[in-house]
Structure 1
Amino acid sequence: MTEHDKKTLTSFVDLSDRLMPWVAAAGLGLLVVITVSRLV
């Protein structure tokens, strides 16, 4: 594993750390929409 690969991996992990709350919120919102549409 080269130095460049390590930097790429680090920045990818950093990016996913920032995106994770948004992904979780989107998933939760989608779950709510599906649940509500089934009840209606």
Structure 2
Amino acid sequence: MTYKANLTQYLSNEFKRLYEEPFNTDVTVQVGEEGHSKIFQAH
């Protein structure tokens, strides 16, 4: 893989870790904002 491909994969994994994992917790239920609700429903 090229450096760019590795970097893209890394950023993709980091994005998933930072933005998906928190929504798998009970905290998600307390978030009422429309955008976050959509993310929660996607799971």
TM-score by length of 2: 0.49
CA distance in 2, matches of 1:4, 1:18: 21
CA distance in 1, matches of 2:4, 2:11: 11
Total equivalences in the alignment: 26
* Structure 1 residues 4-40: Cα deviation after superposition (integer angstroms, max 9, x where no partner): 0000000001100111212x2325xxxxxxxxxxxxx
Gaps of 5+ in 2: 29-39
Q: CA RMSD in A?
A: 1.4
Which aligned runs of 4 or more in structure 1 are off by greater than 2 angstroms? none
Greater relative contact order (CA < 8 Å, ≥ 6 in sequence):
2
Query: Identity over the aligned pairs, expressed in percent?
Result: 15
Who wins on radius of gyration, i.e. which is larger?
1
Of Structure 1 and Structure 2, the greater helix share is in 1
TM-score by length of 1: 0.51
